[in-house]
A and B are shown apart, each in its own frame.
Chain A
């Protein structure tokens, strides 16, 4: 089998993704499969945000709001809160649809804003949604306020629940394994959609707006609609991820949707490599897994070295996170795995050298 053939490489990748939860389970234990599940949810979020930030160049600091909308839609329609127990295949698309609606709702008034101003307004929007969730328990109790909504229905199709134990071909699948496959399927779908959009007429229009909105408009791109489309697509992915999160976690509360989460998702996009799907996936995996490594590793390590815990692992986690951000921005400003375009942009390459030569030649002529 030749590895450089794309078909073979894809097959290998697919196999690796399929056996991954069992490998993780065997090597690190059950808890880490759960972390892998969360990584997939975050990758979905990061891919959604990548459309808004990476493709269309609209800096959105309140992206987690769409995650919240998706999660609360699932929670309200599939929990004892209202006694509704709608099936997943209705609630998930509905959550995506609501998130999409909120994406347009946010997008519409911010169309004239650019750069820093857009960032501030989106940041405000993210907080508004969170505060709404926090306070919608009076006068009519809708969201249960800061207590959040608990005992949400698990993700299920018909009688098959992803939270239950199942056995197939003599292999036991536990809840985290089944969720892994479900999330993987959705992540692949989101990645596929992103990839197809990137290399299309719509994707080019997004990138044109990112590069120069005035010129894009003058070239006949209806910048209003195309920007709204970016917001809507990004929000939809956020909504799907949110619904899955609510069903997986079984509990949602406003504090899961803080500004910090928005920043985290943005960091995944920027650190991984804006505009490049592989980079964004890498960013998502690293930013979910590394903090967990610190959480589990820093305490025992300090015990072993100093005999006591010197720095609280939780603070250390944030410290290392900040350090990692600075280092990446210093050494790999385009992200860990930048798109070829951004790589060309930030690194002097042959074509630049060639051009300089040409200029010299031109002026000598």
Chain B
């Protein structure tokens, strides 16, 4: 169907156990370049575990992990960041006591090189680089729509701005795949709407987006393709329309009349509007 190099991320048969608990059992994901790929599922379905495997925070126990044509199974987070996977966190993890600008500047770390010697001598190369870092950071702050004085401490930003700052920081690493872990959590309708615009803008700039979300409406309106996880297994994948009408998905979210083997309670999330 698609050429292999159309695929940015290929996961096959990924398993992850925590003791006796199989958080992921045999999950396969294929993310194409330039799409917004949604990952949904009830609480405890393994979304964040999968996410942490993709970003190197957890090492996978079984399966293959191919990103942009190379194998990255069991790599450390900074190696994956270098390869081009950047992420945000479900519970915001900014550098709280650094300014908004500095937060983004840290994101430039892996695309810049000046070391101790450059810092001590402030030679031409180091100064030019430092200036470029700062300019790019200012640019990114504007890009995500933070119009505060750039020396505002990250923790003094509003909640919505902190979410955006995380995205700016991730974008600073020049990712090929931007992985967002529930970016709209706790946002009001207006904020969610502008976040949606931002994600479209990011996709238009050529960055592939992987999105975990609880807000099914947002996922359905935004994603090109969606995968649904339940109890560590992928139960459906496809375009939003297809997934929305999938019997297994409806069962996972709303429950069925006949009890399922591990029937979890419904999340109260309506799949269809």
Contact = CB atoms under 8 A, between A and B. Distances in A.
Interface of A: 193, 196-197, 200-205, 207-208, 211-212, 214-223, 229, 233, 341-342, 344-345, 351-352, 355, 358-359, 362, 365
Interface string B49-76: 0000001110000000000000000001
Contacts of B133: 201
A211 B95 contact: yes
B128 interface: no
Contact of A203 (B81, B87, B119): B119
B94 A212 contact: yes
Contact of A214 (B93, B106, B169, B172): B93
A202 to B, nearest CB: 6
Contacts, number: 119
Given A200-B118, A200-B130, A211-B95, A220 B82 contact: yes
B81 A341 contact: no
B271 interface: no
A341 B106 CA distance: 16
B77 A218 contact: yes
Given A202-B119, A221-B109, A362-B158, A215 B94 contact: yes
A359 B119 contact: no
Contacts of B126: 200
Contacts of A222: 78
Given A219-B110, A221-B106, A221-B109, A212 B95 contact: yes
A204 B93 contact: no
B146 interface: no
A341 B114 contact: no
B156 A352 contact: yes
A97 to B, nearest CB: 15
A345 to B, nearest CB: 5
Nearest to B159: A359
A221 B82 CA distance: 9
A220 B86 CA distance: 8
15 contacts: A200-B119, A201-B118, A201-B133, A204-B98, A208-B95, A212-B94, A216-B106, A217-B77, A218-B56, A218-B77, A218-B86, A218-B87, A219-B81, A341-B99, A351-B156
Contacts of B93: 212, 214-215
Given A201-B115, A211-B96, 17 more contacts: A200-B119, A200-B126, A201-B108, A201-B118, A201-B130, A202-B115, A203-B119, A208-B109, A215-B95, A218-B87, A219-B172, A220-B107, A221-B78, A229-B116, A341-B97, A351-B156, A358-B158
Contacts of A208: 95, 98, 106, 109
Shortest beta-carbon contacts, A-B, top 4: A220-B110, A220-B81, A200-B119, A211-B95
B112 interface: yes
Tell me what chain B mostly uses at the interface: helix, strand, loop, or mixed: mixed
B110 A355 contact: no
Interface residues of B, number: 48
Contacts of A362: 158
B94 A344 contact: no
A214 to B, nearest CB: 6
A218 B57 contact: yes
Given A201-B112, A201-B114, A219-B169, A342 B97 contact: yes
A212 B89 CA distance: 12
Contacts of B172: 219
Contacts of B110: 219-221
A218 B115 CA distance: 20
Interface in B117-137: 118-120, 122, 126, 129-130, 133
B153 A204 contact: no
Nearest to A213: B93
Contacts of A355: 156-158
Interface in B145-172: 149, 152-153, 156-158, 169-170, 172
